[in-house]
Amino acid sequence: KYPRQLNKGKFSFLPECASSFQLFSLVFWKLASRKSLWIPLLSDWIMDENMQSSVTSERPVDEPNYLFKDPVFKLENKTRVGKRGWKNLKMILMSERSPTATVTYNTINAPPSLYPSKHYSDISGLPAKYTDPQTKLYYSGTEEFHTVRSLPSDIISGYLAIRRANNPLG
């Protein structure tokens, strides 16, 4: 009863084969200023259409025969005997025992970074903004600067050796 009323007059822009969602969205788009007048009519029509579609969906629908499907195919449910756990990288590399010429994760060398390296204080390990020009040690504040200046040369060379920096004192 409702589709005939909807397709006449003001609803002539609605296509005959549109779904209920398409009709509902079209009506809201076209009649946005007067949507309160048409909502009860549309909601009743959508409910009727949904009831009709639920009645028609109870009939069995034959699947189309596709050429690429095997009609005698049956999925077999195979159960696993044991659980398969994850292997770490060392176990995978040892199990493969690949020759040294093959490329593995460990043999790939990355190019040097284009970003400047981060400097950390040799005394506290905090991010260092400053470098002592005499000792070439990194420090992050004034207290560490006084500590760096008071260190003997053998400890300074030890800090530089840990950091693998060139030792300017020796």
Domain coordinates in residue numbering, the chain: 2-56, 116-170
User: % helix / strand / coil in the chain, to the nearest 5?
Assistant: 40, 5, 55
- Compute the average pLDDT of residues 159-165: 89
Strand ranges inside 18-134, DSSP E? 130-131
Residue 32 has pLDDT above 50, yes or no: yes
pLDDT of 132 reads: 94
Q: Which pair of structure tokens corresponds to residue 129?
A: 């903004």
Instruction: Of 7-11, 67-71, 99-103, 156-160, give the lowest mean pLDDT range.
Output: 7-11
Q: pLDDT digits over 62-110, tens only?
A: 666 777 777 787 777 766 666 667 788 887 777 777 566 667 777 788 8
Q: pTM to 2 decimals?
A: 0.36
